[in-house]
Amino acid sequence: MPTRPCGPNGESAGSVLEQMNATNRYYFDQAARVTAIRMASELDIQSYLSINFMPNAVYKPQSCIRATMEAARHYGFDSYRLIFEVTEAEDILDRGHLRSIFDEYREQGLMRAIDDYGEGFAGLNHLIELEPDLVKIDLNLVRGVDHQKARRAVIRSTAMMCDEMGIRLIAEGVETRAEYETLREIGLSLFQGYWFARPGFECLPEVEMP
């Protein structure tokens, strides 16, 4: 499976994140948010902007979101196009605190998403407790979905459940035409992955629509 670049020199996300600790986690989280908004504005991105955040770095939801909203105003980026994602595999120290973060973001008119759904063990609890706007199916469930009945069954049931709850579903890590077409047959309409474009740094990759 190819490694997704994250740093300016092609570093993996893991190598960047392993540099964090209890001392710098908050500052890293805040800097990443502001940098993402600044770059999106400079690139004149008109679509939604997804920002992964770390719940354990958010001390007070109202205070921590303030700098993000100020950055959006400063760079002229519509805050209603911001999506904040938390990965299902995140080590959550306080589930009630995470719920309060999601509630505050809802109050601010921000979209909320669960990333890497199916990778961890908190999936159903997250859906019930957090009531996200979006759920992103983990690429390990997507991989090989075209020829593995079990994967199709899990994704189909997830799609039906999310539809009933009013949650939009995204398949991430789509890398082949067969995966894309199978997911379309299941009923999904939102995708991301190498099949459409390779990630770029400080640039907008050209998207190839199938």
Q: What confidence tens digit (pLDDT) does each residue in 176-192 have?
A: 999 999 999 999 999 99
Q: With beta carbons less than 8 A apart as the criterion, state whether 187 and 159 touch.
A: yes
Query: Residue 55: pLDDT above 90?
Result: no
**What CA–CA distance (Å, rounded) separates 200 from 46?**
17
Indicate the angle between helix axes 61-75 and 95-107, nearest 10 degrees. Answer: 40
Amino acid 86: pLDDT:
86
**What CA–CA distance (Å, rounded) separates 13 from 28?**
13
Query: Residue 71: pLDDT above 90?
Result: yes
The alpha carbon of 142 is separated from its chain's Cα centroid by a whole number of angstroms, namely: 15
Share of the chain above pLDDT 90, in %: 52
pTM, to two decimals: 0.83
CATH number (3.40.190.10, 3.40.50.1980, 3.20.20.450, 2.30.40.10) of 1-114+125-132 reads: 3.20.20.450
Tokens at 18, concatenated: 């392993």
The answer for residues whose C-beta is within 8 angstroms of residue 3's C-beta and 6 or more apart is 12
User: pLDDT band for position 95 (50/70/90)?
Assistant: confident
User: pLDDT band for position 121 (50/70/90)?
Assistant: low
Amino acid 123: pLDDT:
62
Tokens at 74, concatenated: 């400063």
Q: Where in the chain is the domain with CATH 3.20.20.450?
A: 1-114+125-132
Q: With beta carbons less than 8 A apart as the criterion, state whether 45 and 13 touch.
A: no
**What CA–CA distance (Å, rounded) separates 124 from 112?**
16
| Cβ-defined contacts of 122-130 (< 8 Å, 24+) | 122/88, 122/92, 123/88, 125/95, 126/88, 127/161, 127/162, 127/165, 127/167, 129/95, 129/99, 130/86, 130/98, 130/99, 130/102
User: pLDDT band for position 14 (50/70/90)?
Assistant: low
Query: Residue 3: pLDDT above 50?
Result: no
Share of the chain above pLDDT 70, in %: 86
